Amino acid sequence: MKALAPVLLLTAMTVAACQAPAQDDDMYRYKSAAPDGIGKVYMGREIAQVMGHRGWRWLERPERATEERPDLVLAYLDLAPDAVVADIGAGSGYYTFRLNELVPDGTVLAVDIQQEMLDLIDERAAADGVSNVTTVLGTITDPNLPPDSVDAVLMVDAYHEFSHPAEMLAGIKHGLRTGGRIYLLEFRAEDPQVPILALHKMTERQARRELEANGFTWVETFTDLPWQHLLVFEK
């Protein structure tokens, strides 16, 4: 099977993160970049390039329903109807506009660092009359969540692209309520049959290593998905 290759865009912010290591030398190291990487390494893992907003149609491809089974993911999530959920790395809103139906009395915060992606979400929300979705412009170091305000965070195939993962996890921890959960969905790097670029996959071991090092407790891993695993962590 031919590997799926999302449209990638190395943003100016990401380039700057690679070229100016002065403030984070103790946490990150640098190397020659792999074809789909940025040359910045965190806990032994090279960070992947960011998918630019021009690739949004790949996020909305019809095949995603069978390749990733979002229906199973959503059925697994333990969300109260009035929960506040942050979809971090929301992209075009593929999951945002599924999450909002799970929390009819709550709110979905669609967080992304690309305003163009957030504009797509705002346009769709207005067109569909969706009132419980709020877009949030984050930065490469901070999701900009209000303190102790979020019940759950969903990150779908996004965490591996964060140029400052430790700082982002600190921001997420700041925004989560005590007992709040992170649902981390990533393509399985353990499985060579998963047709995704290497740096856009993560092993369960690596994901646990990184989040546990940043103060989160692993709860369980949901593996009944075609290509991904869903790891659950708690604050």
Q: Which amino acid, 50?
A: V
Average pLDDT over residues 172-185: 98
Q: Is the pLDDT of residue 8 over 60?
A: no
What is each CA distance from 141 to 60, 114, 164, 206, in whole angstroms? Answer: 26, 13, 6, 20
Domain with 106 in it: 12-234
113, part of any domain: yes
Query: Rounded to whole angstroms, how far apart are CA atoms 149 and 85?
Result: 9
Average pLDDT over residues 114-131: 97
Of 228, 213, 234, 177, the C-alpha closest to 68 is 228
3, part of any domain: no
CATH number of the domain encompassing residue 31: 3.40.50.150
Segment 27-58, tens digit of pLDDT: 999 999 999 999 999 999 999 999 878 777 77
6, part of any domain: no
Average pLDDT over residues 100-113: 98
The alpha carbon of 223 is separated from its chain's Cα centroid by a whole number of angstroms, namely: 18
68, part of any domain: yes
5, part of any domain: no
1, part of any domain: no
4, part of any domain: no
Q: Is the pLDDT of residue 158 over 90?
A: yes
Residue owning tokens 């940025």:
38
Number of domains in the chain: 1
Query: Rounded to whole angstroms, how far apart are CA atoms 78 and 112?
Result: 23
Residue owning tokens 């009035």:
82
Q: Is the pLDDT of residue 10 over 80?
A: no
152, part of any domain: yes
The pLDDT assigned to 61 comes to 83
The pLDDT assigned to 54 comes to 76
**The pTM is what?**
0.90
Out of 18-22, 27-31, 121-125, which region has the weakest mean confidence (pLDDT)? 18-22
Q: Which residues contact 102 (CB under 8 A, 6 or more apart)?
A: 74, 77, 79, 81, 83, 85
The pLDDT assigned to 57 comes to 74
Q: Is the pLDDT of residue 15 over 90?
A: no
